[in-house]
Structure 1
Amino acid sequence: MSEPDASAEAEIRRLLDIMAALRDPATGCPWDKEQSFDTIAPYTIEEAYEVADAIAQRDFTSLPDELGDLLFQVVYHARMAEEEGLFGFADVAKCISDKMIRRHPHVFSEAAARGAAEQTAAWEVQKSAERAARRQSGTLAGVSVALPALTRAEKLTRRAARVGFDWPDAEQVLAKLDEEIQELRAELPGAEPERLKDEVGDLLFVLANLARKLDLHPEECLRHANEKFVRRFNAMERDFAAEAKSLSELALDQMEEGWQRVKAAEKGRASGTR
């Protein structure tokens, strides 16, 4: 393996020192001193999403900054743990290094090279052993409850599929989707919030499963749909503004007509570039 980058080590040390200064009981930042694992956790999730967004936008100029924000979250949690005598940043780095070596014997040992499928199977065996060591038993153990709901649904169904609890193909999932839609329709007249939540949840869960069966990530699918909606809605709003019209002054059928124009124009541009 290559020699460690001295500049990287120096910058990590600098970051750790900055974090220690921010949390210093006497001279640190008042806001930073008040934070806890619970209050910082939402920022950690937010920073991870901002990293993903920079990648999706291919904004590689901003990516180092976003990755730095995410790294700072790791350093923050490690510093708070060190203050409580739990662990430190070195323990965090050691844990992930040890784990990667343990899960990649085909790279870091004399084991024979494996194909991708065999490596994936070995990875899962190793993860199962690690969950057992943490006394996490059961097929679904270890799927984090903190994941975005669609992502967690995809992971839960993927885990269940490993033991054969799965539809044979996407067509079967689509049939289940039709069934769930009918169940939702049946609940609409009464409109009891808890029942509606249950049925809409079932619908979303099946959709996440359908995405998995099609080798798609449901979170990415929804993110793509969100961006498409924003793009088209903004274009529609601009078109009406050019006519000195405000959306709030228009009837729904007028907005729908504008939406369809934007949609047709977008599809026309897409077909023209092929």
Structure 2
Amino acid sequence: MSILRSPNGCPWDREQTHESLLPYLLEESYEFIDSVKSGDVDAMKEELGDLLLQIAFHAQLAEERGLFNFADVDQAISDKMVRRHPHVFGDASSADLDHRWEELKHSEREQKGLKSVLDDIPLALPAVSRAEKIQRRAAKVGFDWDEISPVFAKIEEEMDEIRRAIDGDGDIHEEVGDLLFACVNLARKLDVKAEMALDDTNRKFEARFRQMETTVLPKSLADYSLDELEALWVEAKNAQKG
């Protein structure tokens, strides 16, 4: 990276900043997720390399400003892992591991000057993932239902509020957001990662829809009625299960 950023290096690389590189960091992260989902080991190796490149790039930018370098990043994560695993690298017992973990996290938040348990949840997280993190943090201090039945009741309540908003009594945008938040909470209570579950459903829908498109070739799905499309959907669904 130092060569690419040098006066005789690549003009594009020399122009980049932490901010300009952020979209690429996200893109490479999502591409690695795709490679894992597809089970493509070669792609996993390639995408991890692309992610490592982004880390090296950001470290190089920081080094040029005299802030830190790649070795500092490596040392920082090594120190964190040792600090967070005293039962492995120290004399602490593995008993009551969850409690010790929370104590360590609390101590780290205090050192960073964070006052709320929600303070270090990244604002840039996808909304579904961020909702789950917010709910988990709230639950850790006891702000959570012990049983799942109130979660279902909350979802029903939010659906009723959407119906009233549609009739003119309320903000539809706000009520839909409340319903989505409640659905994420249901997933959390069922120990399901809502972001991953929704991603799997997206992929499932896409596969079935593409099958429908293939089935009607050389025609277009737009040439069919809704009843015909629903029949094609059932056919694609059954083929996928078979």
Q: TM-score range by the shorter chain?
A: over 0.9
Distance 1:205 1:44 in 2: 27
Q: 2:210 matched to 1:234?
A: yes
Once the 2 structures are TM-superposed, how far is the Cα of residue 150 of structure 1 from its aligned partner? 0.6
Give the superposition deviation at 1:97.
0.5
CA distance in 1, matches of 2:19, 2:155: 37
- Residue 148 of structure 2 corresponds to 170
CA distance in 2 between partners of 1:189 and 1:236 (Å): 36
- Tell me if 1:253 matches 2:227: yes
Matches within 5 A, 1:103-142: 103-112=84-93, 114-115=94-95, 118-142=96-120
Map 1:11-30 → 2, pairs under 5 A: 19-24=1-6, 26-30=7-11
3-state DSSP of counterpart to 1:22: coil
Gaps of at least 5 residues in structure 1 are: 1-18, 270-274
Q: Give 2:189's aligned residue.
A: 213
Provide the C-alpha distance between the structure 2 equivalents of 1:257 and 1:191, rounded to a whole number of angstroms.
Answer: 37
Secondary structure of the structure 2 residue equivalent to 1:65? helix
1:78 matches 2:52: no
Q: Which residue of 2 aligns with 1:56?
A: 37
Q: Which residue of 2 aligns with 1:264?
A: 238
Matched, 1:90 2:56: no
Q: Between the two proteins, what is the percent identity of the paired residues?
A: 47
Count of residue pairs brought into register by the alignment: 242
Return the TM-score normalized by structure 1: 0.84
Aligned amino acid, residue 220 of structure 1: M
Name the CA shift for 1:58/1:120 in 2 (closer, same or farther; >3 Å): farther
Deviations 1:111-164 (A, max 9, x none): 23x14xx22321221111111111011121211111111111111101100111
Deviation at 1:191, TM superposition (A): 9.6
Q: Could you report, residue by residue, the CA deviation over 1:89-125 in whole angstroms, capped at 9, with x for unpaired residues?
A: 111111101000001011111223x14xx22321221
- The correspondence of residues 152-171 of structure 1 with structure 2, limited to 5 A, is 152-171=130-149
Q: What SS does structure 2 have at the residue aligned with 1:233? A: helix
Letter in 2 for 1:183: E
**TM-score, normalising length: structure 2:** 0.95
TM-aligned CA deviation for residue 251 of structure 1: 2.0
CA shift for structure 1 position 169 = 2.2
C-alpha distance in structure 2 between counterparts of 1:197 and 1:125, whole Å:
38
d(CA) in 2 for partners of 1:150, 1:125: 26
2:82 is the alignment partner of 1:101: yes
Name the residue aligned to 2:25: 44
1:188 corresponds in structure 2 to 166
- Decide whether aligned partners of structure 1 residues 40 and 191 sit closer, same or farther in structure 2, where only a CA change above 3 A counts: farther
Match of 1:31 in 2: 12
In structure 2, C-alpha distance between the alignment counterparts of 1:253 and 1:184, rounded to whole Å: 27
* 2:49 corresponding residue in structure 1: 68
For 1:8, the equivalent position in structure 2 comes to none
Code of the aligned partner of 2:191: D
Name stretches of at least 5 consecutive residues in structure 2 with no aligned partner: none
**Could you tell me how far apart the structure 2 residues matched to 1:204 and 1:36 are?**
35
User: Counterpart amino acid of 1:204?
Assistant: L
Q: What is the CA–CA distance in structure 2 between the aligned matches of 1:85 and 1:191, rounded to whole Å?
A: 57
